[in-house]
Amino acid sequence: MGEGVTGWVAEHKSVVSLSRNYFVDSRFKNFSALIEDTYEAFLSVPLVNGGEVIGVLNVHHKEPHVHTADEISLLSFLGEQMGGAIAYSELAADHSKLREKTLQIREQLEVRKLTERAKGIPQERFNLSEREAYQRLRDESRRLRKPLRAIVEAVLLVEELVQNDHSSGNHGSSEEDPR
């Protein structure tokens, strides 16, 4: 920031209106790749939001042009509106990223809670330590190439089925095969 007329406008949060030969202005910096540098007149306004400059809006004229107060006011108004719109757009993008991150964290927490419940089952059944039970679940997830969540949900579902079976008095007996 701070290079050329545009940089000066951003740095000083101020409008610059040059009606002719703007390339001779002491703030002018030639950028050979810009066709605009061959134009005569120039109007530049800062894009401002909350007192902070977030960009600059430039209008170039091929011929000399005296900018009226109405033109300057209109462009300044557009600069304020565009500054607000750009800032809002950036906030919306940040909000979207935060929402996505929140969902990821919630998913991780849910998997962690399920894993805590599920690892208690092999701990109890196979007399494993908490760490060993977790490693078995993790290893099974890797072996089957399934997410850990799918494995722990399957373990919990089987445990629930076993518990329901025991509470209904079936104790592992199966009904006749309907085939």
Residue 27 has pLDDT above 70, yes or no: no
Note whether 58 and 76 are within 8 A (CB): no
Q: Which residue has the tokens 């109007």?
A: 43
Which residues have C-beta within 8 Å of that of residue 9, sequence separation ≥ 6? Answer: 15, 16, 44, 45, 46, 56
The overall pTM is greater than 0.75: no
- Tell me which amino acid residue 9 is: V
Which residues have C-beta within 8 Å of that of residue 14, sequence separation ≥ 6? Answer: 8, 46
In 3-state terms, what secondary structure has residue 157? helix
What is the percent of the chain with per-residue pLDDT over 90, rounded to a whole number?
Answer: 51
pLDDT at res. 52: 87
95 vs 52, which has greater pLDDT?
Answer: 95
Structural domains present in the chain: 4-96 (3.30.450.40), 99-167 (1.10.10.10)
Task: Name the phi and psi angles at 178, rounded to 5.
Answer: -70, -5
d(C-alpha 36, C-alpha 62), whole Å: 8
pLDDT band at 24 (very low <50, low <70, confident <90, very high): low
Sign of CA dihedral 92, 97, 101, 104: positive
DSSP state of 78: H
| Average pLDDT over all residues of the chain | 86
